[in-house]
Amino acid sequence: MTITATPAKLANGTWGARVLGVPSVGAIVQVRTAGGKTWDVRVVAIVRAGAGPQDTSLVATESLDRPSGRPARDSDESLADRGLIRVSGGRGSYVRKMNAGDRFDEYDM
């Protein structure tokens, strides 16, 4: 039996899921967006348990689709592979296209 859920932003800023009932920690859940995109996640913690089987629980999850060791989409290496660079400034950082004037020191790579 597949447990289905919807994505939910948790209070700490990470993504979790809303699940009908109270799944066990370690359970595999299929998250489905309103647009129909789906992916599998593992429940790592119960953030807020529903009162019964017809109530919604909020759970913290980890992705099963991204194998460990694969760089995150916005890691510096992944950005460079796509011809982008992260630039830090006085008001934070942003991502832009690399240009011919960009230089990298050997120790940065």
The mean-pLDDT minimum among 33-47, 76-90, 93-107 falls in 93-107
pLDDT at 108: 44
pLDDT of residue 12: 83
User: How would DSSP label each residue in 72-87?
Assistant: PTTSHHHHHHTTEEEE
Q: Which two tokens stand for residue 98?
A: 């690399």
Residue whose structure tokens are 């909020």: 58
pLDDT tens across 23-77, in order? 888 899 999 998 889 989 999 888 998 887 788 989 999 888 654 444 555 566 6
Type of residue found at 72: A
What Cα–Cα distance (Å) separates residue 95 from each residue in 90, 92, 103?
A: 14, 11, 16
pLDDT at 87: 73
Q: Which two tokens stand for residue 33?
A: 């967006």
